[in-house]
Amino acid sequence: MILLESIRIFMRSADTGSFSAAGRDLRLSPSVISYRIQNLEKHLGCLLLTRTTRRMSLTEAGRIFYDRCLDITAAVERAEKCVEAAGATPRGTLKVTAPLGLGRRVIAPLIPRFRERHQEADVHLRLSDHLLDLVQEAVDVAVRLSQMRDSSFTLRKVAGVERVLCAAPSYLERSPPLDEPADLLRHDCLLLRFPGSEQFRWTLTDRGKTLTLPVSGHIDVDDGETLTNWALAGEGIALKPLFEVASHIASGQLVTVLPKTPPLSATLGILYPSRKMLSARGKTFVDMAYAVMRDHVAAQLALVGKHPT
């Protein structure tokens, strides 16, 4: 790719007759143009351009190289146009990952709707509460509910997510008082366990400051939806996104605890490598996933009188 770009810089310099004019066309400084052409000449082992203070011209070797490069650049342009045309219609394979609970309730039901519109596209959906390595797993689209850290990926934010500590009334009735964050150390905390999980240290916010506690409990699991079910069964305190437990809070099955020192908020978003690199099928899926997740979060938060941010 670097060699091809250097060839294009060389050809534009030959066409315009100066590094300054080529630089204006390519949005590069004359010094960069000169450096790239010098490297190209070094790579080829010959002088391509003769340069004086007044004019620049092709050497004999430069003219031969220029003529041959016309075929190369034309072939590359044809290949690029073919790929662009193929990508204009959603087709091929799309690899998607999402958290288990949200994936089952929202993303999985979306797949048949996506396939109904785009029958030439295949979808591989992987549901996991583990934070997969998106590069290593060759993921095209990732739904994430976390503090986003994949800086090399483009993020389309769906909503800011308030998180809460919650428990069943039956658990709280038989447990020690829970008046301040330090009291959590004497309680059964329901924890999400998987390699690399940070859920064994709960970070709460208190008047603009953060407090991290090494909480513990008798049971843990690698499925966030199971944590909710355990909390409903009175097994302990769970740290959950508010929209995931809003219906249980609205019905009184769960109650929030320590509301003045809530957990750090998170972001619900869609990650993908780059908007320019995203295929047509990926762009279409991202747009559909954004809409259904935004509606889902809004509907759940409305149950407790809140709105997505």
Q: Is the pLDDT of residue 6 over 60?
A: yes
- Complete domains list, the chain, with CATH: 2-87 (1.10.10.10), 92-161+267-302 (3.40.190.10), 163-264 (3.40.190.290)
Amino acid 136: pLDDT: 67
Percentage of the chain surpassing pLDDT 70? 89
Instruction: Name the average pLDDT for the chain.
Output: 87
Res. 184 pLDDT band, cuts 50 70 90: very high
What DSSP string describes the chain?
A: -HHHHHHHHHHHHHHHSSHHHHHHHHT--HHHHHHHHHHHHHHHTS--EEE-SS-EEE-HHHHHHHHHHHHHHHHHHHHHHHHHHHHTS--EEEEEEE-HHHIIIIIHHHHHHHHHH-TTEEEEEEE-SS---TTTTT-SEEEEEES---TTSEEEEEEEE-EEEEE-HHHHHHS----SGGGGGGS-EEEE-STT--TTSEEEEETTEEEEE----S-EES-HHHHHHHHHTTS-EEEEEHHHHHHHHHHTSSEEE-TTSPBPPEEEEEEES-TTT--HHHHHHHHHHHHHHHHHHHHHHHTTT----
Q: Is the pLDDT of residue 161 over 80?
A: yes
Amino acid 293: pLDDT: 97
236-264 mean pLDDT = 96
In this predicted model, what pLDDT tens digit does every residue of 92-147 receive, in sequence order?
A: 788 999 999 999 999 999 999 999 888 888 899 999 888 777 766 778 899 999 87
Amino acid 309: pLDDT: 85
Q: Which of these ranges, 81-85, 168-172, 280-284, has the smallest mean pLDDT?
A: 81-85
Which of the two residues, 298 and 11, has the higher pLDDT score?
298
221-226 mean pLDDT = 91
In this predicted model, what pLDDT tens digit does every residue of 14-31 receive, in sequence order?
A: 888 888 888 887 778 888
